[in-house]
Amino acid sequence: MQFVWPYWDGGAQADELRWSIRSVETFFQGKAKITIIGDRPEWYHGHVIIKKRVPHTKPNRAFRDMLGKVFYIATHAEIDSECVWMMDDIYFLKPFTLDDIKTPRAEPWRPDESNSWQKRKTASMEALAARGLTQHDYATHLPHWLEKDKLRAMFDDFNLHENTMLWEVLYGNVYRGTPQRTRPFFARFQHQADKETYQRLTANTTVINNTEPAWCDGLHDFLADLLPTPSSVEAEHEASKPVYIITKKGPRTVKRRPLETHRDYIEKQAQ
């Protein structure tokens, strides 16, 4: 089974992708085929489908970039007819089967327009309601099992080439059955904790996800203890490091024209 991670190394917070891939190879009860769409970190030496980011001049850049990578999943010759969509901050903690991934899991939708992501979720739900379809919230940060031809058809049916909606919400409600709740199979961490706390809170959990603020030494150490064996796509002898990328905006550099090129200066010199 092919596991596919849409990825942009410049936006990676740390080496979360490493642990996500290790968790699949460690716990999947089958043969895992690893693929990245986008670019790759230096330590990654596996299958990658290069795709440039959507230009910064395009509106809704982050959403359009993800949709562009998902469209690659639906159309690219190097993607199998069935695959599992992943994110770099999704980690399996226990053995799992393809049936576990195929089981639909979602949460009840609660209308919310507090940010751009929630507004796009609302637009997705309204598009589903207009067609008399269910409105389960499949935007859960879980892996998604996909059938390539259905994903391709969904892009056309909802015109996702122009409409910026949440593809996983649309796909789940169009093609999946009545979903189960996500817990206890899944847990999402939004706050930092120590290694022992993660061990205690995940005793009955198979897969977890973390928000950006939740990534910390405690989570890194918890995953490192659980997943000590390098994956097949890691560079040999390349050790993992709990790297954190912190971007700070400095003062804007203003380029000024030399004084001798100013019109008023030239006119004064001519007098």
Identify the pLDDT of residue 12.
Answer: 87
Identify the pLDDT of residue 237.
Answer: 52
The residues with which 38 forms a beta bridge, in sequence order, are 7, 50
Identify the pLDDT of residue 244.
Answer: 39
Identify the pLDDT of residue 11.
Answer: 87
Identify the pLDDT of residue 243.
Answer: 43
Please give the DSSP secondary-structure letter assigned to residue 205: -
| C-alpha angle 28-101-25 in degrees, rounded to nearest 5 | 20
Domain boundaries along the sequence of the chain: 2-267
Residue bearing tokens 């637009």: 123
The two three-digit tokens of residue 52, written as one number: 């440039």
Identify the pLDDT of residue 249.
Answer: 46
Low-confidence residues of the chain: pLDDT under 50: 241-249, 254-255
Residue 21: alpha-carbon gap to chain centroid: 13
Rounded Cα distance between 41 and 212, Å, is 18
Instruction: Please say whether the dihedral angle defined by the alpha carbons of residues 169, 214, 143 and 62, taken in this order, is positive or negative.
Output: positive
- Supply the CATH classification number for the domain 2-267: 3.90.550
Identify the pLDDT of residue 256.
Answer: 56
Rounded Cα distance between 163 and 105, Å, is 25
